[in-house]
Amino acid sequence: MALTIGEMGKATSTKIETIRYYEKIGLLPKPARTSSNYRDYGPAELGRLSFIRRSRDLGFSLDQVRALLGLSDDKSCDCAGIDRIANQHLLEVDRKIADLQALRRELKAVIDSCDGGTVEECRIVEALGPVASG
């Protein structure tokens, strides 16, 4: 059961260039090649790529993915390390949400302050540029 890079891409909704990029940075191993130098993947590589993509979809950075892959390779270790990375990432996500919500409130206030009219009177512009010419 061999897969071309295009089939790997379709199976995981990944662009070909991205797969080659993962190979280049060492997230995916260098695969076997056909006689015409095409990449030749097996199910293990497909699994690994699925893992990477799913992790990326959940917002893990490539460095975190690398760590997860390293930890998940060692089946007999306990999974505290994996848990730690995942929970740390959850905290980051929470922080990001909170930051965006704060930003949203501020942005909304700026927008709501504007009643229309000319740019001269626009409160948005005023709110953005605190220092007038003077």
Partner DNA sequence: CTTGACCCTGTAGTTGCTACAGCCCCCATA
Partner DNA sequence: TATGGGGGCTGTAGCAACTACAGGGTCAAG
Only segment of 2-10, 22-30, 33-41, 96-104 that touches a copy of itself (CB under 8 A): 96-104
Partner from a copy of itself, DNA, none binding residue 16, C-beta < 5-8 Å depending on class: DNA
13 touches DNA (CB under 7 A): no
Q: Please list, residue by residue across 4-32, b when 16 or more beta carbons sit within 10 angstroms of its beta carbon and e when fewer do.
A: ebeebbeebebeeebbeebbeeebbeebe
20 binds DNA (CB under 7 A): yes
| Residue 130 contacts which entry, a copy of itself, DNA, none (Cβ below 5-8 A, type-dependent) | a copy of itself
At a CB cut-off of 8 Å and minimum separation 6, what does 82 contact?
68, 71, 72
**Which residues are CB-contacts of 28 (< 8 A; sequence separation ≥ 6)?**
19, 22, 45, 48, 49, 52
| Only segment of 43-51, 58-66, 75-83, 89-97 that touches DNA (CB under 7 A) | 58-66
Q: Cβ distance 37 to 21 under 8 Å?
A: no
Token code pair at residue 38: 């095409």
50 lines the binding site for DNA (CB under 7 A): no
Q: CB of residue 47 vs a copy of itself: minimum separation in angstroms?
A: 4
- Taking the complex as a whole, the smallest distance from the CB of residue 77 to DNA amounts, in Å, to 24
- The answer to whether 94 contacts a copy of itself (rule: CB under 8 A) is yes
The binding site for DNA (CB under 7 A) comprises 4-7, 9, 15-18, 20-21, 34-39, 56, 61-63
